[in-house]
Amino acid sequence: MTATVPETGLDTNRIRSDFPILQTHAASGAPLIYLDNAASTQRPRQVIEAMSDCYLRYYSNVHRGIHTLSEEATRRYERARQTTAEFLNAASTTEIIFAAGTTAAINTVARSWGDANVTAGDTVLLCISEHHANIVPWHQLAERTGCVIRFLPIDDDFLIPDDVVADYLSRYQPKLFAFGAASNTLGTEYPVKRWTGLAHDAGAKVLVDAAQAAPHSPVNVQDWGVDFLAFSGHKVCGPTGIGVLYGRETLLDAMPPFLGGGGMIDRVTVEGFSAHALPEKFEAGTPPIVEAIGLEAAIQYLNSIGLEAIHQHERQLGRHADEGLRAIDGVRVIGPTPEHKGGINSFVVDGVHAHDVSQFLDTRGVAVRAGHHCTMPLHQAVGVSATSRASCYLYNTLEEVDHFLGAVAEVQTKFARTGRRRRSRSR
Amino acid sequence: MRSSVPVSQRRSVKRFRRSPVSSPSSRPPMPSEQDIYEEHVLDHYEDPYHRGSLESATHADQGDNPLCGDRIHVDLRLDDQGKVAEAWFDGEGCVISQASASMLIEKVEGKTIDEIKEFSAPEMLELFGPKLTPNRQKCCLLSWRVLQSALHSPLGGDGESADVGDDSNGQSAAGSKRPRFSGPSLGEEQ
């Protein structure tokens, strides 16, 4: 097998030593090869330790006490916000809202901005490749307001050309264009800055679902010019239960609060309440304090390696997997060619259901996702009910991809028809 | 009492005897955790029992697992004594869903309606054999679920929809092929 370090530029040996779980074995006894990173990533020691350090030494609620612990917890919670703002290159920390995840962030925009700005007959434009978190909140908005949801289709190469985007924008004049910066199924990386420009030219606001982008490549909300952006902690080596909503300050300021409760108020009387200023206005209740501290540690970890370097590494692994899969007889890659993709490859094996593929790969220690990956409309459009998906991250190696490809090549043999006969039995 | 034992670990010998050809009686039927694709499972997958449709069916239904796309259709012909005279299935999906359907269909012919109604989900998993994780149990139980609903889905005759009651959508039970969603129905929110 080939040495991995010089080929992608990342020192995967050193990186892997930071992730205790990668030293474990699958149930079959085979060493674990974790290729389900688009669903959720693993955590390095640094993140786990930052979180336990908080619980062990300075945990308290934030923004409430005057005591030492609360001051320290608040300082660290707000420092995490600062680190996150820098990670996205936001203009101000007031534009960074901590939410439960990407799903909660998008729902906040749909409920708050959507209910206040979208009315019957308005259009919300999405891509057919969106995952359900960026579809269902808009279906719900349509149920409340009577707005119309339209989907940009993919072409025969699984791509959405710029001219089709421009055409839909001019034809339907959407109030909002909400799209994933990268598809969790096709692996396609979309031109966020270009599409945002097109949308703004057509008078639409832009929400970018960066759940599959923020973990893998640099995000720059000011350069891209987006109005809203969301991502999840658990997909950037951080904890579950936390995500980020970025919103342009003028927009967030004008939006009504969504969840009500402690933390988001300025004052409360028997007659009513007045909302706190940003960002607390959108952070009702005790926030995910330790999760924010863990998220900061994750961002610092990724920064220490470099998002650009991570991206190049993943693209190389993704290309290797793509080419290897296409070379296997009876395997079809559901997604565009490597130059359009990051580290995600979805595929089908002719005659074998995705669940059986995944189950078999598990016996070889390889963890991949099987199913519809929360993109049912996309699967309907492509005409398959389920796919298998291998998604790489910074700790994966070319050797692991080779091992995965070898296991996929075995799948058809395992399930090949061999003229078996069902054995009769007495009832 | 029985239910205190995890479903997937229970094995009944008396309920499902294998023929001597396929397995000596001494065979310990504990599959390795990894090999849910036991020989007899693959046999049923490749050479299923009564796969196809039944012209003379009196009862039929179909169902799917939207999460994975497994789909099963069951046709039954019930005789005057309330027994399953003939049973067929069709569908598509993973090995588990299709092989388990074959096993089930082979088992139910000759059984009475009451016997089928009493045939429980744990017994279905037992019939299948290899231990399944909860996610794969759904695949295995799809045909069992459809079989149970097929008993309540008579075909033909106009009189049938009377059982269903007043349905403003005009959907009879047998004709109800609307997509099924897990979780709350969007229609309920209004």
Q: pLDDT for A105-163, tens place per residue? A: 999 999 999 999 999 999 999 999 999 999 999 999 999 999 999 999 999 999 999 99
The CATH architecture annotation of domain B35-153 reads: Alpha-Beta Complex (3.90)
Q: In the predicted model, is pLDDT for residue A170 greater than 90?
A: yes
Give pLDDT, residue A4: 41
A84: confidence class by pLDDT, cuts 50, 70, 90: very high
Those residues whose C-beta lies under 8 Å from the C-beta of residue B176, and which sit 6 or more positions away, are none
What pLDDT, on the 0 to 100 scale, is given for residue B157?
Answer: 57
Helices A398-415, A354-363: inter-axial angle, 10-degree rounding: 120
pLDDT for B25: 38
Domain boundaries, chain A: 5-43+306-413, 48-304
Selecting among A54, A237, A374, A392, the annotated active-site residue is A374
Same fold for the domain at A5-43+306-413 and the one at A48-304?
no
| Cβ B87 vs Cβ B112: under 8 Å | no
A335-347: pLDDT as tens digits: 999 999 999 999 9
Contact residues on chain B for A356, CB-CB shorter than 8 A: 37, 94-96
Q: What is the pLDDT of residue A44?
A: 98
Q: Is the distance from CB of A295 to CB of A242 less than 8 angstroms?
A: yes
Average pLDDT over residues A308-326: 98
Say what the ipTM of the complex is. Answer: 0.78
Read off the pLDDT band of A316 (50, 70, 90).
very high
Interface test with A, best of B14, B46, B142, B180 (most A CBs within 10 A): B46
CB contact under 8 A, A422 and B43: yes
A contacts of B110 (beta carbons < 8 Å) = 427
Q: Which of A27, A353, A418 sits opposite B33 (nearest CB)?
A: A27
- The verdict on a CB contact (< 8 Å) between A422 and B70 is no
Mean per-residue pLDDT over chain A, rounded: 95
Of A160-169, A256-265, B161-170, minimum mean pLDDT range:
B161-170
Assess B138–A contact: CB distance below 8 Å, yes or no.
Answer: no
Sole residue written with tokens 């299935």: B89
A-B CB pairs within 8 A amount to 83
Whether residue A374 lies in the annotated active site: yes
Closest C-alpha to A88, from A200, A245, A270: A245
A79 SS3 class: helix
Q: pLDDT tens-digit profile of A396-421?
A: 999 999 999 999 999 988 888 888 88
Percent of chain A with pLDDT over 90: 89
Give the list of residues 6+ apart from residue A199 with CB closer than 8 angstroms, or none: A169, A174, A177, A205, A206
What is the pTM assigned to this prediction? Answer: 0.85
Q: Do B18 and A425 touch (CB under 8 A)?
A: yes
* Amino acid A30: pLDDT: 86
Helix/strand number for chain A, H first, E second: 16, 15
Question: How far away is chain A from the Cα of B25, in angstroms, using its nearest Cα?
Answer: 13
CATH code, residues A5-43+306-413: 3.90.1150.10
How high is the mean pLDDT in each 10-residue block of chain B (190 residues)?
A: 42 37 37 68 94 95 86 95 95 94 96 96 95 91 96 73 37 40 33
The dotted CATH code for A48-304 is 3.40.640.10
